[in-house]
Chains A and B, each alone.
Chain A
Amino acid sequence: MSHPSTYEPKTGIERWLDSRLPIVRFGADLMSYPTPRNLNYWYTFGGILSFCLAVQIITGIVLAMHYDASGAGAFMSVERGIMRDVNYGWLIRGVHANGASMFFVAVYLHIMRGIYYGSYKAPREVLWLLGCVIYVLMMATAFMGYVLPWGQMSFWGAKVITNLIGALPLVGKPITTLLWGGFSVDDPTLNRFFSLHYLLPFVIAAVVALHIWALHVPGNNNPTGVNVKSDNDTVAFHPFYTVKDGFAIGLFMIMFAVFVFYLPDALGKADNAIPANPLVTPAHIVPEWYLLPFYAILRAIPDKLLGVLALAGSIGMLFALPWLDTSKVKSMRYRPTARLYFFIWIAATCVLGWCGSQEPDGKLFGIESFNFIDYPIMSVTWASRIAALYYFSFFGIMLFLGLSETPLPVPDSLYTPVLKTPVAAPAE
Chain B
Amino acid sequence: MFNKTVCLAAFAFIGAFGLAGPAAADDAMAPMDVHWSFEGPFGHYDQEQLQRGYKVYREVCSSCHAMNQIAFRNLGDPGAPFYDPKYPNSNDNPKVKAIAADYKVSDVDGDSGDVIKRPATSADYFPSPYANNAAAANANGGAVPPDMSLLVKAREGGAAYIYSVVAKDGVMTPPHGMIVPAGRYYDPYKSGGVIAMPPPLVAGKVTYDDKTPASVDQEARDVSAFLQWAADPKMEERKQTGLAVMIFLIVFTGLLYASYRKIWSDVGH
**Residues in chain A within 8 A of chain B (CB atoms):** 37-39, 41-42, 76, 79-80, 83-84, 90-91, 94, 101, 105, 108-109, 112, 116, 235, 239-240, 243-244, 246-247, 250-251, 253-254, 257-258, 260-267, 270-271, 273-274, 283-284, 286, 289, 292, 332, 339, 343, 346-347, 350, 353-354, 356-359, 361-362, 415, 418-419, 424-427
Verify B12–A350 contact, CB threshold 8 A. Answer: yes
Q: Name the distance in Å between B89's Cβ and chain A's nearest Cβ.
A: 14
Taking CB atoms, residues of chain B closer than 8 Å to A273 are: 150, 153-154, 231
Taking CB atoms, residues of chain B closer than 8 Å to A235 are: 267, 269
Q: Name the distance in Å between A220's Cβ and chain B's nearest Cβ.
A: 13
Verify B13–A353 contact, CB threshold 8 A. Answer: yes
**Residues in chain B within 8 A of chain A (CB atoms):** 1-3, 5-6, 9-10, 12-14, 16-20, 22-25, 41, 68-70, 74, 146, 149-150, 153-156, 191, 231, 233-234, 237-239, 241-242, 245-246, 249-250, 252-253, 256-257, 259-260, 263-264, 266-269
Taking CB atoms, residues of chain A closer than 8 Å to B268 are: 37, 415, 418-419, 424-427
- Nearest B residue to A280 via CB reads B144
- Nearest B residue to A265 via CB reads B153
Taking CB atoms, residues of chain A closer than 8 Å to B267 are: 37, 235, 240, 427
Separation of A347 and B256 alpha carbons in the complex (Å) = 34
Q: Name the distance in Å between B162's Cβ and chain A's nearest Cβ.
A: 12
B6, B17, B246, B267: most-surrounded residue (chain A CB, <10 A) = B17
Taking CB atoms, residues of chain A closer than 8 Å to B2 are: 42, 116, 332, 339
Taking CB atoms, residues of chain A closer than 8 Å to B19 are: 263, 266-267
- Nearest B residue to A269 via CB reads B22
Separation of A258 and B14 alpha carbons in the complex (Å) = 14
Verify A254–B249 contact, CB threshold 8 A. Answer: yes
Q: Contacts A37-B269, A84-B69, A261-B238 given; indicate if A343 touches B5 (C-beta within 8 A).
A: yes
Separation of A246 and B249 alpha carbons in the complex (Å) = 12
Counting from the closest, the 8 A-B pairs by CB-CB distance are A261-B242, A250-B253, A289-B17, A273-B154, A424-B268, A273-B153, A359-B25, A247-B256
Verify B256–A270 contact, CB threshold 8 A. Answer: no
Taking CB atoms, residues of chain A closer than 8 Å to B22 are: 270, 284
Sample of 20 more A-B contacts, CB < 8 Å, known A108-B13, A112-B6, A286-B23: A37-B268, A84-B233, A94-B238, A243-B260, A251-B253, A261-B238, A263-B19, A266-B19, A267-B19, A273-B153, A274-B154, A339-B1, A346-B5, A350-B16, A358-B25, A359-B23, A415-B268, A418-B269, A427-B267, A427-B268
Verify B69–A76 contact, CB threshold 8 A. Answer: yes
Taking CB atoms, residues of chain B closer than 8 Å to A253 are: 249, 253
Verify B25–A361 contact, CB threshold 8 A. Answer: yes
- Nearest A residue to B6 via CB reads A112
Taking CB atoms, residues of chain B closer than 8 Å to A261 are: 238-239, 241-242, 245-246
Separation of A391 and B24 alpha carbons in the complex (Å) = 24
A346: contacting residue among B9, B68, B245, B256, CB under 8 A: B9
Separation of A426 and B268 alpha carbons in the complex (Å) = 5
Separation of A303 and B263 alpha carbons in the complex (Å) = 57
